[in-house]
A and B are shown apart, each in its own frame.
Chain A
Amino acid sequence: MVRIIMRKLTILCLVLSLSVTTVACGGGNQTTTTSNSVSSTSVTPKRLSDGQYPVQQASYNDADGEYTLFLIGSQPPTFATDKLQMARLTDEEIKDGKKSYLKVENGEPALYLTEDFKIEYVHNVTEVQTNPQNGQQETVVVRRESNFWTPFAASLAGNLAGQVIGNALFRPQYYVPPVYQSGGIMRGYGGYGSTYDSAVSSYRSRYNQPPAAVRNRTAFRSTGTIKNSTSTTNRTPSSTRGTNTGGRATGSGVSGSTLQNSGNSSSTNRRNSNSGFGSGSRSSGSRRSSGSGGRRR
C-alpha cells in the first residue's frame, strides 16, 4: 500500500517537475520574440480560415512580392500573403457565371481567376545610393509606379511573356509576374512552377536575372575600393604606407542579404551567447557585449 502511494507520489512529482521545466523553457523563449514585431506593422492578417471568398480586387507589390487581396465576406476584408498560388477558372465555370475567388485549403491560399482579371501591379523603382551615415552603398526605393497585370490574358498578343500549356493552367501554381512595363497592360507571366522557388528559377533561366521581388528583397552593400571603381579597372597602384587610410591597407567588401533586420536601431542586445562558436581567441569585449546586454530571462 505504502509502495503504491510512493509510486503515485513519484509520478506526480515527475509530472510536476516536467511541466515546470517546459513552462520555464517556453518563458525564456518568449522574451526574444518581442523585438521583431517592429518590422511588420501592418494589421492585415496573413492567415485565413479555410473556405472560398469572392475577390473584389488584388494588388501585387514588387518590393517584397506580397499580394494584397480585398475579399468579400471575410473579416477584415483584406488579406496579404507573399506565397500565393494562382489558377485560371475553367471555361465551364466562367460560363456558369463564376467570378474570381480565393480558395483557402489547409491554410494554403489559391486564387482562381477569370482570364481578364486585372491585378494591380505596384512597381518600386530602386537605386543604389551611398548612405551618408556610413559611406556604404545600399539599395533604396526612389519612387513608385503602378500598372495592371493579367496573368491569364486571353488575347495572345505578341508581348505575352509566357503561356502555360493545357491543363496546368487550371491547376494552382506559383507565378512570377513578367518584367515590369509602364505602358499597356502586362500579360502572362515571367515564370511559374509548383513551388515559389521553382517559379523564381524558371524566371531566372528566362531573363537571366532574378525577379523584381527577389531583387528588391536583397539588401546590397559594398565598401572599400570596389565601391568607387566604376569601369576604371586600370589605375596606378597606390602605396599605402602613408597614413591616408589611418594606417590601414586597401580592401574591398560586398554583401548581399535576404535576411530581415529586427528594426532595432540600437546596438543589438545579443541574447546569451552560449550558442556562439569559433576559434574564440578574440577578446570578446570589443563588439560582443555592446551596452547592457546581459542574460535576459
Chain B
Amino acid sequence: MSLFNKMMGKTRYVVCRLFLHLSGSEVAPILGVLNRAAREAVDAEGDIEVMGEGLVEICETLLRYDEYWLSASNEGDVFWNEGEAGDYFNEIFTDSASRYGAELDFDQQEPLSLPATRNVVVMLTVAYEGEVPELETDLSNIPALTEGLKALINLQQKNKIRAIQEHFSPAQYGDELTNDQLLQYFPELIPL
C-alpha cells in the first residue's frame, strides 16, 4: 500500500508526538525555555518558522538535561492524505491539552512556599512531509530518544515541518506536578 502510494508520487505525511518526563531538583529552568518558546509562538500567532526555531531550542535543552530523563513515550501515524493528517494533529492537540488544567483559579495562593517542582512533562508533536526513521520508531529508550530529538532539530533545518505543537506541565516555576498526577494523566509513560 505505502509502496504503491510512493510509486504514485503521493506526499507522505507523518504526525508524531513524544512525551518526555524529567525529574529532579534541577529541572525547573527547562520551564523557562518552554515558556519563552510558547510566548514567542503566541506573539507570532503560530508561525511555523518561529515555532520551528523554538522547537530546536527546546530539543537542545532537553538533550542537555538528559541525566534527568525519567520516563518517555511516543506515538504517531503515517498518512497519504493531508486532511487526515491535519485531523489527527488537531486530535492530538485536544488530547494533550486535556492532561493539564486549562482553567486556573488563583484562590489558593501560598506566597511563601515555593515548592520547586520535581517533575516536568514535555509533549512535542510535529507533522512533517517525507520519512524520518529516527522518529517513526519506539522512542522509549535513551539512545532512541536522543536520536529522535536530534532528528527533530534536523527536520527544522530542512524546512520539512508542516505543523508544530508544544505542551508542557506544570506551567511555570512554583507550580507543581505531583507523582500521582503523572500516573493519572500520563499513563503511557515508560521508565527509561
Q: How many residues of A contact B (CB 8 A)?
A: 73
A133 → chain B closest CB, angstroms: 11
Give B contacts to A, CB under 8 Å.
1-2, 4-5, 8, 13, 16, 34-35, 37-39, 41-42, 44-51, 72-91, 93-97, 99-111, 114, 123, 125, 127, 136-140, 159, 162-178, 181, 184-185, 187-188, 190
Check if B49 sits within 8 Å of A279, measured CB to CB: no
- On chain B, the residues within 8 Å of A287 by CB distance are 91, 95
Contact of A254 among B13, B42, B173 (CB under 8 A): B42
Check if B41 sits within 8 Å of A29, measured CB to CB: no
Contact of A277 among B75, B111, B170 (CB under 8 A): B75
Give the A-B contact count at a CB cut-off of 8 A.
Answer: 283
Tell me which residues from 223 to 266 in chain A have a Cβ below 8 Å from any Cβ of chain B.
Answer: 223-228, 235-242, 244-264
Known contacts: A238-B106, A251-B168. The answer to whether A262 contacts B48 by CB under 8 A is no
Chain B at the A interface: mostly helix, strand, loop or mixed? mixed
Check if B170 sits within 8 Å of A240, measured CB to CB: yes
Question: Interface stretch among A8-16, A78-86, A146-154, A214-222?
Answer: A214-222
Could you list some 14 contacts between A and B, CB below 8 A? Answer: A221-B93, A236-B106, A245-B102, A248-B185, A250-B171, A256-B51, A258-B162, A261-B83, A273-B77, A276-B78, A277-B76, A279-B139, A281-B140, A282-B187
B132 → chain A closest CB, angstroms: 11
Tell me which residues from 4 to 49 in chain A have a Cβ below 8 Å from any Cβ of chain B.
Answer: 25-26, 28-29, 32-33, 35-36, 39
Q: What is the CA–CA distance of A209 and B84 in the complex, to the nearest angstrom?
A: 29
Check if A254 sits within 8 Å of B41, measured CB to CB: yes
Q: Is the CB of A139 closer than 8 A to any CB of chain B? A: yes
Q: What is the CA–CA distance of A215 and B139 in the complex, to the nearest angstrom?
A: 33
Q: What is the CA–CA distance of A220 and B103 in the complex, to the nearest angstrom?
A: 19
Closest 4 CB pairs of A and B: A245-B101, A251-B100, A256-B46, A237-B174
Check if A257 sits within 8 Å of B35, measured CB to CB: no
Which of B49, B171, B187 has the most A CB atoms < 10 Å from its CB?
B171
- On chain A, the residues within 8 Å of B89 by CB distance are 255, 257, 259
Check if B190 sits within 8 Å of A250, measured CB to CB: no
Q: Is the CB of A210 closer than 8 A to any CB of chain B? A: yes
Check if A215 sits within 8 Å of B47, measured CB to CB: yes
**Nearest opposing residue in chain A for B144, CB measure:** A279
Check if B106 sits within 8 Å of A235, measured CB to CB: yes
Q: What is the CA–CA distance of A241 and B109 in the complex, to the nearest angstrom?
A: 11
